[in-house]
Amino acid sequence: MSIASQATDRVIIFDTTLRDGEQSPGATLNVEEKLAIAHQLKLLGVDVIEAGFAIASPGDFQAVKTIAEQVGTPDGPIICSLARAIRQDIQAAAEALKPAAHPRIHTMISTSDIHLQYQLKKTRSEVLAIAQEMVTYAKSFVDDVEFSPMDASRTEPEFLYQVLEGAIAAGATTINIPDTVGYCTPKDIGILIQGIRENVPNIDRVILSIHTQNDLGLATANALAAIENGVRQVECTINGIGERAGNAALEEIVMALQVRKHYFNSYFGRPVNADAPLTNIKTQEIYKTSSLVSQLTGMLIQPNKAIVGANAFAHESGIHQDGIIKHRQTYEIMEAASIGLPENRIVLGKHSGRNAFRTRLKELGFELSDADLNKAFNRFKEVADKKKEISDWDLEVIVRDETQNQVESGFQLEHIQVVCGDCTCPTATITVVTPDGKILTDASVGTGPVDAVYQAMNRLVQIPNQLIEFSVQSVTGGIDALGTVTIRLAHQDKIFSGQASDTDIVVAAAYAHLNALNRLYRYLQTQRIPAQVRV
* Residues that bind ligand KIV in the complex, under the rule CB under 6 A: 20, 82, 108, 148, 150, 176, 178, 180, 211, 213
Three-state secondary structure string covering 435-450:
CCCCEEEEEEECCCHH
In the complex, residue closest to ligand KIV by CB: 178
**Alpha-carbon gap, residue 258 to 262, rounded angstroms:** 9
User: Rounded to the nearest whole angstrom, what is the least distance from the CB of residue 235 to ligand KIV in the complex?
Assistant: 7
**Alpha-carbon gap, residue 11 to 246, rounded angstroms:** 21
Decide: 213 and 247 in contact? Cβ < 8 Å. yes
CA dihedral 496, 502, 504, 505 (to 10 degrees): 30
The string over 420-430, giving b where at least 16 C-beta atoms fall within 10 Å of a residue's C-beta and e elsewhere, is: eeeeeebbbbb
214 versus 391: smaller Cβ distance to ligand KIV: 214
**Alpha-carbon gap, residue 103 to 80, rounded angstroms:** 6
**Alpha-carbon gap, residue 412 to 371, rounded angstroms:** 18
238 versus 461: smaller Cβ distance to ligand KIV: 238
> In what helix (H) or strand (E) does residue 38 lie, and over which residues does it extend?
helix 31-44
User: Rounded to the nearest whole angstrom, what is the least distance from the CB of residue 115 to ligand KIV in the complex?
Assistant: 10
180 versus 295: smaller Cβ distance to ligand KIV: 180
Backbone angles phi and psi of 411, in degrees to 5: -90, 145
153 versus 290: smaller Cβ distance to ligand KIV: 153
24 versus 176: smaller Cβ distance to ligand KIV: 176
20 versus 95: smaller Cβ distance to ligand KIV: 20
- Give which of 134, 133, 135, 124 is closest to 157, Cα–Cα: 124
Residues 6+ apart with CB under 8 A from 204: none
211 versus 379: smaller Cβ distance to ligand KIV: 211
Decide: 161 and 194 in contact? Cβ < 8 Å. no
89 versus 502: smaller Cβ distance to ligand KIV: 89
User: Rounded to the nearest whole angstrom, what is the least distance from the CB of residue 532 to ligand KIV in the complex?
Assistant: 27
User: Rounded to the nearest whole angstrom, what is the least distance from the CB of residue 101 to ligand KIV in the complex?
Assistant: 24
Task: Tell me how crowded residue 173 is: count the other CB atoms within 10 A of its CB.
Answer: 20
Angle at 525 between CA 519 and CA 527, to 5 degrees: 105
**Alpha-carbon gap, residue 367 to 347, rounded angstroms:** 18
User: Rounded to the nearest whole angstrom, what is the least distance from the CB of residue 139 to ligand KIV in the complex?
Assistant: 18
User: Rounded to the nearest whole angstrom, what is the least distance from the CB of residue 522 to ligand KIV in the complex?
Assistant: 26
User: Rounded to the nearest whole angstrom, what is the least distance from the CB of residue 19 to ligand KIV in the complex?
Assistant: 8
84 versus 375: smaller Cβ distance to ligand KIV: 84
Residues 6+ apart with CB under 8 A from 522: 30, 407, 409, 410
59 versus 242: smaller Cβ distance to ligand KIV: 242
**Alpha-carbon gap, residue 28 to 21, rounded angstroms:** 9
User: Rounded to the nearest whole angstrom, what is the least distance from the CB of residue 148 to ligand KIV in the complex?
Assistant: 4
Amino acid occupying residue 386: K
Three-state secondary structure string covering 87-148:
HHHHHHHHHHHCCCCCEEEEEEEECCHHHHHHHHCCCHHHHHHHHHHHHHHHHCCCCEEEEE
Q: How far is CA 362 from the centre of its chain?
A: 24
User: Rounded to the nearest whole angstrom, what is the least distance from the CB of residue 484 to ligand KIV in the complex?
Assistant: 31
55 versus 399: smaller Cβ distance to ligand KIV: 55
User: Rounded to the nearest whole angstrom, what is the least distance from the CB of residue 20 to ligand KIV in the complex?
Assistant: 5
47 versus 402: smaller Cβ distance to ligand KIV: 47
User: Rounded to the nearest whole angstrom, what is the least distance from the CB of residue 152 to ligand KIV in the complex?
Assistant: 8
Write down the H helix ranges in 250-386.
250-259, 261-265, 286-297, 318-326, 354-363, 370-386
178 versus 446: smaller Cβ distance to ligand KIV: 178
User: Rounded to the nearest whole angstrom, what is the least distance from the CB of residue 131 to ligand KIV in the complex?
Assistant: 13
User: Rounded to the nearest whole angstrom, what is the least distance from the CB of residue 110 to ligand KIV in the complex?
Assistant: 8
> In what helix (H) or strand (E) does residue 63 lie, and over which residues does it extend?
helix 58-70
